[in-house]
Amino acid sequence: MLLTGIDVGVIRPDLAERLLPLRLERPKVRRTEAELWAEYEEILPVVLGSLLDLTVKVRAADAEIPTDLRMADFAHLCAQLDAATGLGALSAYRRSLDDLNDDVIEGDLLAQTVLEHAGGMESGSEQRMTSAEWLHCLTRLYVGEDCRALPKGWPTTGKVLSDRLKRLQPTLAARGVYIDWGRTKVARYIEVSRPPAPLVSEQEQVLRSVRKHGETKTRKSRRTIALPKQVVDVLEAHKRLQKQERASKGKAWSPTGRVFTTRSGEPLDAANVRRDFKAIAKKAGLEPEWTPRELRHSFVSLLSDHGIPLERIAQLVGHTSQATDRGGLPQAAPAGHHAGSGGHGRDLRQAKRGACRRGLTKFLWPPVWPPERKSGPVLISQYWA
């Protein structure tokens, strides 16, 4: 095992799927080395005893071995840890791999260009060309009609391109673009392919909503919610912009009928959402570790601040009882207080002032309650109806 502070995933993209990133929090109070060692010696017996107890508990747990991850033993250990404690270690590990892949793609213009080219390919299709032909194709795509200058480090020969693609192969595969090499009687070739889309009926897609592994979380999740006027206005503006994008893309647009899509009409994945959310949070002056999940916590906190009855909030967020929400609601919390207990995170009340000054929430702030009735776009799950 190698412990390093270097961003190896960007330097060597092929190592990204074998990395386990750890984020160290900056200490708020600095202490001397002697104080740290004294505290360490004091708590060491408790730490070691707890780890041994946890190890026995985890190793005795039954869990399926994930078959899609490079570090299968570590993934199996995460699955056992989840079965024993319910911590969500495996999903956290998958998210960390997604973040690493995002870092690799964001730092590599060649990877971005390959994904852009693959975005115009149909699902289940493949393209074969020599390395020199691929170099010409990708270079022409990057340069575009604006004749952009090639960036430093752009491949200059087919051999260099082939070597770069070998390092990017795991990262691109994680985004549904597969690279392979072969040979005919004439010459060697590089094959770029996209897997066929799974056959899922429209009805099943609606019921599955955005959950990756099947049905909605609970039957209570199947519910109709009235949208505030501000949200309706934003959705109508979004639908008009999407219509313009669809017209400009022509045949390159994938007609999925979804409300939120990529620039080519394809469904968004978790990495797309996190990347866009990070960009919005940065513009609003928020900390980079904010996640989309905290919007749900803020929704609950804001409704509570505006005096909405607890039973109504529980209905809106799909909880079966008020007790579930009571643990996450602020009780007469002062402005700017980070609401939450029992695992619920902070909310947007403290940050909304800066966001409003930047004009980022002119449609969505302040919330209007109850929602004003207005005809607008109809949504069924993530689809336009």
* pLDDT of 35: 93
pLDDT in tens, 135-166: 999 999 999 888 889 999 999 999 999 999 99
Domain boundaries, the chain: 12-18+35-104, 109-193, 202-384
- At the second CATH level, the architecture of 109-193 is Alpha-Beta Complex (3.90)
pTM listed for this prediction: 0.49
| In contact, 111 and 134? CB cutoff 8 Å | no
Exposed/middle/buried for residue 375 (C-beta within 10 Å: 0-12, 13-18, 19+): exposed
CA dihedral over 16, 17, 18, 24, signed as positive or negative: positive
- Give the model's pLDDT for residue 203: 41
Structure tokens at 189: 């070739």
Tokens of 221: 């999740």
112-139: b or e for each residue (b if 16 or more CB lie within 10 Å)? ebbbebbbeeeeeeebebbbeebbeebb
In whole angstroms, give the CA distance from residue 125 to residue 194.
6
- In whole angstroms, give the CA distance from residue 257 to residue 140: 31
Grade residue 361 by pLDDT with cuts at 50, 70 and 90.
Answer: very low
Distance CA 173, CA 118 (A): 12
What pLDDT does 385 receive?
54
Band of pLDDT at residue 353, cut at 50, 70 and 90:
very low
CATH class of domain segment(s) 202-384: mainly alpha
